[in-house]
Amino acid sequence: MLKQTLRGRYEDWIEITFEDITLGHRFIFVRSLKAIVGSKADHESLKPIAPYVPQEARKRAPETDVLPGDPPPATNAIKWVASLPKAPIPASISSILSTGSVSDMIMKLKRIVLPESLNLDSYSVHFKSLIWVEENRMEHDLHIYDMYNSLLVFKGASYRLEVPGLAEKRPSVLIGDSILVQRHGANSGKWFEGRVHYVHKEIVGLMFHKSFSNPDKNQRFDVRFKLNRHPLRRQHQALSSTFTPEHLLFPLQLHVHTRAEDATVITPHNRMLANNSRQLDAVSAIVNNPPGSVPFVVFGPPGTGKTVTIVESILQVLDANPQARILACAPSNSAADLIASRLMSLGTAKLFRLYAPSRVKEKVPDELLPFTRTNPGGYFTLPEKSVLPQYSVIVTTCVSAAFAHGIGMKRGHFSHIFVDEAGHATEPEVMIAVKTMADMSTNIVLSGDPKQLGPIIRSAVARHFQLDISYLERLMDREIYDTRRGHGVTIVKLTKNYRSHNAILKYPNERFYANELEPCADKKRTDFFLGSPLLVSSKFPIIFHAMAGKDDREASSPSFFNIEEISQVKAYVEALRADRRFGVSDQDIGIIAPYHAQCVKIRTSLKKIAEDIKVGSVEEFQGQERRVIIISTVRSSRDFVEYDLRHTLGFVANPRRFNVAVTRAQALLIVVGDPLVLSLDPLWRSFLNYVHINKGWKGVSITWDPLEPVREDGGYDAELREQGLADMNEFTRRMESLALGNVDDIDGAEDVDRPWREAE
């Protein structure tokens, strides 16, 4: 009797050889033996709803006649004086991107469109072209959300449309956006534009032109989502500015100012900074840098308190000069909310949190509402133009920072422009504030970490031309931002980590941060799980749970999921919640998976036992932390002959995603995955070796020597392919030497998982 207690999939071959001694003949029967060890209930409830069949691209008839809809009042909540450029994609770029391979597109763009190099003269053309390339891809990717045969329900003054996936921003729809509809099967170029008046969970409220009517309640419609171009148009507006100071865009040593001798002495508001010399160095530099300095960078690796440093710097700038005016930005509303919440001590007379009119009030933290302004219709708006200059600090997103130029505020009004999480914004997004509102005296402060996630760029062509390289990262590659020579002058690298247990920090510290990070977190928090029965080694709070599952897909979705890993993740959650000694709540646990389908099915499996646990992609956890992080890596395959690192691991094998994922945990890190697949990537292989050497390995045994040095150039996928071929050849040779009986046959769109950038 075969017995296996470890979850996962197991397979092998059974060979039975028969020999007729009298005739001197031998023959063989071969059967594959496969077993699944796990929860039958999980497999039943999570199995594919239908076999995976790639979605065929439908031919989309052009929209030749679109009848405009009725815009919501939110679109008039702010009175703009500077008009946005239309900035349509030029025909030359559309033509290049319409046919051919990615390499063909790259070659043609180089030859026909893009400047030879990026410099002051080419800056605008370079980035405008890349924005158009990205827009083309964004528009293309929206097509996957086209809906056919959908119902429109008239209720009140608007039509309700149910949009599956809306709650997860797939697609992302904001108040004021446009959605096109036509009667199902019309197949004409005539469409009605519905303007979005409200968004609630998976329902949008649309209002059309007065000529649109739907008397038949059973009438079905085809639906298309239109790209919100406002963020792109704001970037084009900024790039069209003739303000291109070299000291901000391409700073050199000659641009670095000498600081005055009578420097302001820092007495920190936040006492935590008193024992952190690097944070104090950063604050001192920001406060004492003379007007018109080169951008100052706060390089903040995970858990080092870069946002705390930025907030302290803002307060100290105001202490030193009460007349200072500060614009504080971040790429996302959540990051901007964090800054604003930590500045609330300034009071409502000095702090203003600006939201786009499309922002839903329910998504705004209650404590920040007094720092906002709404109009009689309940939409977010601005105070009068005469009132805005009275605020010492205005906090908003990078995209919404366009408000200042849009309402006609004077260039140079802000003495300082801060951009937190700057590594997560594209350079043109940061330029919305810099190129429209800075003057030669404005000081720019950037904080972030180029070793973590960069901007979300959907176009492989735009990524090739480095649109995914942030302004922060580009500057940090320049000589004056060397972390040693530029310390305290142009840059400060924060090194005290206040988040993670040393064992969790050690590997990414060595791999990404030159082993300069110091574990300084509260030991009561980081040592919380030491001695837990879950751990393999009682003093090592990392578990790698090795298992072989099956990466599956369903229906027309190309996103992967792995039921075996879902069951194992669920088992860890149940064990954590059941052990009353540790008192772990849903809010203490975060679950990260690289594929949307895996996230959805994990949420489904946890609904009855721990529905408040956050489950999401790495991007959704950037800037966050949890007491426990569980990572499901998903990809698992036994098809050794077809192993290819890029296609097998997809974007699991991405150093920045890896870095963010493993550095979210404070006290316990659990990784569930297939070691044979993960070990193809040198970064993952080294991590698995680290865990195994420190006795954190659980599950199926390791199949290589963890003490053997890892080849950084990789090649493990090719090695496995060769081994697979060798095994097959040996199997074939043995079969051919026998009279064969009944032998079993040997079993022979990544962008769907890429999230969308915020547009408000």
Residues 6+ apart with CB under 8 A from 635: 551, 560, 562, 648, 649, 650, 652, 673, 674, 677
Q: How confident is the model at residue 20 (pLDDT cuts 50, 70, 90)?
A: confident
d(CA 440, CA 196): 41
> Is the fold of 235-335+401-494 the same as that of 503-713?
yes
Q: Which residue has the higher pLDDT, 404 or 56?
A: 404
Q: Looking up tokens 């085809």, which residue turns up?
A: 222
Cβ of 205: how many Cβ atoms within 10 Å?
A: 20
Tell me the pairing of strands 25-37 and 739-743: parallel
Q: Looking up tokens 């090592």, which residue turns up?
A: 540
- For the stretch 112-169, pLDDT in tens is 999 999 999 999 999 999 999 999 999 999 999 999 999 999 988 899 999 998 888 8
CB 696 within 8 A of CB 536: yes
- DSSP readout, 333-354? HHHHHHHHHHTGGG-TTTEEE-
d(CA 545, CA 669): 11
Q: Which residue has the higher pLDDT, 750 or 322?
A: 322
503-713, CATH topology level: Rossmann fold (3.40.50)
- Phi, psi (deg, nearest 5) at residue 708: -75, 130
Domain 235-335+401-494 CATH assignment equals 3.40.50.300: yes
Q: What is the mean pLDDT of residues 394-420?
A: 97
- Phi, psi (deg, nearest 5) at residue 609: -115, -30
Measured at the CA of 748, the angle between CA 745 and CA 752, to 5 degrees, comes to: 155
217-221, 353-357, 591-595, 646-650: segment of lowest average pLDDT: 646-650
pLDDT of residue 86: 97
SS3 of 389, please?
helix
- For the stretch 192-227, pLDDT in tens is 999 999 999 899 999 999 889 877 888 999 999 999
d(CA 236, CA 470): 17
What the block records as the tokens of 114 is 């893009």
Tell me: pLDDT of 734 over 60: no
Tell me: pLDDT of 414 over 90: yes
Domain boundaries, the chain: 8-37, 88-227, 235-335+401-494, 503-713
> Which value, in Å, is the radius of gyration of the alpha carbons in the chain?
29
Listed residue (475, 339, 311) closest to 398, CA to CA: 339
d(CA 135, CA 707): 47
CA 411 to chain centre: 33
Tell me the pairing of strands 326-330 and 393-397: parallel
* Most trustworthy range by pLDDT among 62-71, 366-375, 575-584: 366-375
88-227, CATH topology level: Elongation Factor Tu (Ef-tu); domain 3 (2.40.30)
**What residue ranges in 449-541 does DSSP mark as E strands?**
491-493, 496-497, 518-519
SS (H, E, C) 548-570: CCCCEEECCEEEEECHHHHHHHH
- For the stretch 73-86, pLDDT in tens is 999 989 999 999 99
- For the stretch 442-491, pLDDT in tens is 999 999 999 999 999 999 999 999 999 999 999 999 999 999 999 999 99
191-205, 250-264, 587-601, 739-753: segment of lowest average pLDDT: 739-753
pTM of the predicted structure, to 2 decimals: 0.91
